[in-house]
Amino acid sequence: HDLMAIHPYNPLEDPYSLYSHSLRNIDELCASIVRSHRETSQYRVEELHALRWKLFNREEIQAYQSKSVDEMWQHCAIRLTEAVQYVVEFAKHIPGFRMLSQNDQIALLKTGSMEVVLVRMSRLFNTENNTVFFDGKFAGTEVFKSLACGDLITAVFDFAHGMCALKLTEQQIALFSALVLINADRPCLEDKGRVQRVQRSVEFGLTHILHRDNQESLMHKLYQRVAVLRSLCSLHMEKLRWFSQRYPLTAHSLFPPLYKELFA
Ligand code: CLR
């Protein structure tokens, strides 16, 4: 796997082996997840806010729409893979993640990285005109027309809209992203117990900051979003299978290796 190097287990660096769940530890856990999110977030929210007016014009939209299906898929797969690479970096800095076996790290990323990309997409989403920051400007659903998977695009945009309605802070988004990734119920885990321990700590961290922000009622809404994420990702996989059957050469030789490794 070229996904990541193995990090040898060092119990002294394991935040769960010595003390568990003291308040100071929870604060530290939250702080490192938030820092990791900030350092791997690709764009800062203030930066994006300043670019809100930058929309694709008619000719540019035309250019995307006149791409062939496989050309546009390849283009989007590359963009998506760049976003996934930042999520992999984010994961590596979640306390406890690097202490999991390499197989379990990969299993969590296979099922969770796309979900985190979609959570992150809500940060780049403008609800006023239903556009997302893609390729340097804000794009509406029409930009993605030549992918020929309108139902997926509509569902993804609806999800972003729903996430924006929750008005999460960057800290809440960071902890929620970590929780989406560290899920002991994912298939093919070797050491479910260890993943469970990390998951509990992240859950505890999210509960802690929601309590601090006086927004405990968000927890329930966030768990509802998780269910929507699951269905979006199975739709993504379904579309990918459809595409690979139709355009096996593009899927095989022109998709980024990491995209194939994670999703194929
Ligand atoms: C997510 C947040 C990242 C930047 C980014 C890059 C690529 C975008 C992605 C965001 C959101 C989802 C996206 C993707 C490109 C194509 C994909 C718009 C904004 C849509 C859902 C199409 C999926 C079809 C593929 C299977 C080809 O910081």
- Give the distance (Å) from ligand 1 centre to CA of residue 149: 13
Ligand 1 pocket, CB under 6 A: 42, 73, 76-77, 79-80, 83, 117, 120-121, 124, 132, 134, 144, 147, 153, 156, 236, 239-240
State the virtual CA torsion across 21, 23, 29, 33 in degrees, nearest 10. Answer: 130
Whole-number Å distance, alpha carbon 255 to ligand 1 midpoint, is 14
Q: How confident is the model at residue 23 (pLDDT cuts 50, 70, 90)?
A: low
Decide if 146 contacts 61 (C-beta within 8 A).
no
pLDDT value at residue 18: 46
Amino acid at 19: Y
Q: Rounded mean pLDDT of 161-187?
A: 97
Q: Give residue 148 CA to ligand 1 midpoint distance, Å.
A: 15
Q: Which of 115, 96, 114, 264 is nearest to 195 (CA)?
A: 96
**Nearest C-alpha to atom 2 of ligand 1 is from which residue?**
121
Instruction: Say what the pTM is.
Output: 0.91
Instruction: For residue 145, give the amino acid letter.
Output: K
User: How many angstroms is it from 79 CA to the middle of ligand 1?
Assistant: 6
Q: How far is the CA of 15 from the centre of ligand 1 (A)?
A: 33
- How much distance in Å is there from the Cα of 35 to the middle of ligand 1? 23
Q: At what angle do helices 170-181 and 23-39 cross, to 10 degrees?
A: 90
- pLDDT exceeds 70 at position 235: yes
Q: Answer yes or no: is pLDDT of 102 > 90.
A: yes
Helix (H, G, I), strand (E, B) or coil at 217: coil
Atom of ligand 1 nearest to the CA of 156: 21
Residue owning the nearest CA to atom 8 of ligand 1: 80
Count of CB atoms situated within 10 Å of the CB of 153: 20
Say how far apart CA 218 and CA 257 lie, in whole Å: 37
Q: What is the ipTM of this complex?
A: 0.96
Q: Which band of pLDDT confidence, cut at 50, 70 and 90, is reported for residue 203?
A: very high
To 5 degrees, how large is the angle CA 232–CA 233–CA 239? 90
The DSSP annotation for 92-121 comes to: HTSTTGGGS-HHHHHHHHHHHHHHHHHHHH
